[in-house]
Structure 1
Amino acid sequence: MYRPYFRGKQFELLTIRETAGLMAQAGFVPIIEPVREAFSNLTRALDTISDAKGQAVVIVNPRNGEHAENGERISTFLREADWRSEDVSAGLLLKPEMSVDDALKYYDSHADLNPIFVHAGFRDPKALAQRLGDQLRTTEHVFIDDFCGKPYTRHFRGSRRVLVRDGFRRQKNADYPDYERFSDLHVTYQEEGMSGFGDFLIVGDEYSEGGGPAYAVAIHITYIDPDRDDVMYVNHYVSISNSTPTDPAGKFRQALDKLIDDLDSGDSNIFESEAIQEFRELHRDRHFPGLGYVKKLAMKHHIELLANFL
């Protein structure tokens, strides 16, 4: 049903580990694009998913990070693991430069890894669907919405189809509005003719290795508004003192004060997830755990929110 798309950075993988049991119970299947050469953190995340009897998709030919030029080590890594065969599937990223022959060769060479097509700029969907023929109905296709409109996805009717849409408009922290619309796919994906949906959580699809010192600190918290057709929105709690890159702990407290004030108002519509409870504890203890940890909590809340709603 829900397929959150993660890049394989430290705190993304930690989020997966901390929510593996919840995702398995809810039937959520994370998609992971490895971006680090080492597999130690990815192994721990996938071990946790397997132990929880969950499932995951691992991109074997990433477009980002340290495996972007050659993903063969990822395929080897998946084949040498001792997870159950149904635990982890190979995600085949269909990029603009790939031909139909390339796509099918990749699919056949990963037949032992439950391959799934992930469409991300591929240019010939009609020919691919025709070449798959009767096999189409047994395949699964994940469509990155920015690359795949309705004319594209209709070629794959009859297969299992999942639409992944980026609901997070990434910008400078200081420039975020108080709130904005995030997505309605969690309530409309079936109307789109899809079997499931996904997003890039509160990180967004745009990939970066990280910037310089933060002039502003922002906490991004999603919520579902029952008075507006259960559409999901995201609140951006931004620090006040944003003229210099100094004192990130102080900036975090300013942003966290705004979040707690909103929660305590009683009309925020924010689900009191385990992650929100941890934000409350950080506020009570006046502790700054680091910006990566803050992002992890916001991602964890997003998953807990959708598990509670669905």
Structure 2
Amino acid sequence: MYFPYLRGKQFELLALKELVVNNKISNKVVPVIEPLKPSSTLANTLEVFVENELGVVVISNPSVGNFLLEYQKDDKEGFRTRYEELLDSSSILFGINLGNSEGLDRLNLKKFQDKIVTICTDTESIHLHSELIGSNAYYNLIKDNKEFSREITYNKVMLEDKFNLQKRNADYCKIPDELFSSDHIFYKSEGYLGFADYSITGSDYTEGGFAPYAIAIHIVYFDSNKKLRIKHFTSDSNDDYTDPAGKFYEAISKLVDCPELQNINTDGLNELRACFNKKKYPGLGSVKKMAIKHHLELMNTFLINEEN
């Protein structure tokens, strides 16, 4: 099973919603959402998972964003009612970030004890697993490291940041193609129930966005050995932040001509190709949404084919 860890930004949530609505992911893919704010997009996304009886993990004590603060405001009463009803569904698993002490003491662990998912990537928080959770977790997302696996020994899912983040988008020009991951090949033989990563966004979180000097499109694909590699399609005119549409066209032109992607037809990849054909610049958020959709659909297809 694959557990893509995504922050609850609008375009990440829309990527998940569209994948479910269009029947492009199955129970082989269980997204982990760290909500940033109590929005209708978040509620609508969770709702389609519930309606389609697909599993999704929601982090109850997010470490980024303002979810917990805004959640308590008077004008969020309607959201709270809807959200709490959704959390009661068997499709929604109760995620706990053991590395974030904020809100841990307020969690209703007893209520959700049969569907707890822990996230533990900090060695200093390993002790909290035995103190708070014991042997009750449905899944445990941990780093692939002996310090974690020695003490958290059951229902393990390896969580690693596979995205090689660069300081500037222009830096991807130097690494147009690189290995992304082989966890999907070896996770079972290494004693894990599943594998997890942060898709093509990486684990670093930044608030808001800015106009970049370069535009980079990150697309994963399988090589002949079934290892997952990633292509970085980067614009050429990167001296200033003017003409983002032109920069996008430079990057997308390289994507549509890439031989390794010619026979791949995921929704996300086809949406990017359509932008090229229509000479349409959809905006950076939509580009990221399409790349995430491509990654998750590709992994879903791989896992289904491996089982058959």
Give the shorter-chain TM-score range: 0.7 to 0.9
Indicate if the aligned counterparts of 2:96 and 2:116 stay in contact, CA closer than 8 A: yes
For residue 157 of structure 2, what is the aligned residue in structure 1? 162
For residue 274 of structure 2, what is the aligned residue in structure 1? 281
For residue 43 of structure 1, what is the aligned residue in structure 2? 43
How many pairs does the alignment contain? 295
Q: 1:104 to 1:261 in 2, by over 3 A?
A: same
Report the CA distance between 1:54 and its aligned residue: 0.6
Q: 1:234 to 1:69 in 2, by over 3 A?
A: same
Alpha-carbon distance between aligned partners in 2 of 1:114 and 1:77, rounded to the nearest angstrom: 20
Q: RMSD of aligned C-alpha atoms?
A: 2.8
- Whichever residue aligns with residue 158 of structure 2, its letter is L
1:15 aligns with 2:19: no
Indicate if the aligned counterparts of 1:60 and 1:71 stay in contact, CA closer than 8 A: no
- Whichever residue aligns with residue 204 of structure 1, its letter is G
For residue 201 of structure 1, what is the aligned residue in structure 2? 199
Alpha-carbon distance between aligned partners in 1 of 2:263 and 2:220, rounded to the nearest angstrom: 7
Report the CA distance between 1:307 and its aligned residue: 1.3
Alpha-carbon distance between aligned partners in 2 of 1:284 and 1:70, rounded to the nearest angstrom: 42
After superposition, what is the alpha-carbon deviation per residue over 1:229-267, rounded to whole angstroms, capped at 9, x for unaligned?
3111110000000001000000000000000111xx4x4
Alpha-carbon distance between aligned partners in 2 of 1:79 and 1:254, rounded to the nearest angstrom: 42
Gaps of 5+ in 2: 304-308
Match of 1:152 among 136, 148, 153: 148
**Aligned-pair identity (%):** 34
The within-5 A match list for 1:178-257 is 178-226=176-224, 229-257=225-253
What TM-score, normalized to structure 2?
Answer: 0.85
- Whichever residue aligns with residue 195 of structure 2, its letter is F
- Whichever residue aligns with residue 89 of structure 1, its letter is L
Alpha-carbon distance between aligned partners in 1 of 2:200 and 2:207, rounded to the nearest angstrom: 16
- Whichever residue aligns with residue 5 of structure 2, its letter is Y
Q: 1:179 to 1:67 in 2, by over 3 A?
A: same
Gaps of 5+ in 1: none
Where 1:300 maps in the other structure, the secondary structure is: helix
Alpha-carbon distance between aligned partners in 2 of 1:156 and 1:71, rounded to the nearest angstrom: 32
Report the CA distance between 1:39 and its aligned residue: 2.5
Report the CA distance between 1:275 and its aligned residue: 1.6
Report the CA distance between 1:182 and its aligned residue: 0.7
Q: 1:34 to 1:131 in 2, by over 3 A?
A: closer
Where 2:66 maps in the other structure, the secondary structure is: helix
- Whichever residue aligns with residue 156 of structure 2, its letter is R
For residue 120 of structure 1, what is the aligned residue in structure 2? 121
Report the CA distance between 1:272 and its aligned residue: 2.1
Report the CA distance between 1:23 and its aligned residue: 5.9
After superposition, what is the alpha-carbon deviation per residue over 1:121-146, rounded to whole angstroms, capped at 9, x for unaligned?
2525357437755xx1x42343342x
- Whichever residue aligns with residue 294 of structure 1, its letter is V
Indicate if the aligned counterparts of 1:23 and 1:29 stay in contact, CA closer than 8 A: no
Alpha-carbon distance between aligned partners in 1 of 2:262 and 2:161, rounded to the nearest angstrom: 22
What TM-score, normalized to structure 1?
Answer: 0.85
Indicate if the aligned counterparts of 1:225 and 1:269 stay in contact, CA closer than 8 A: no
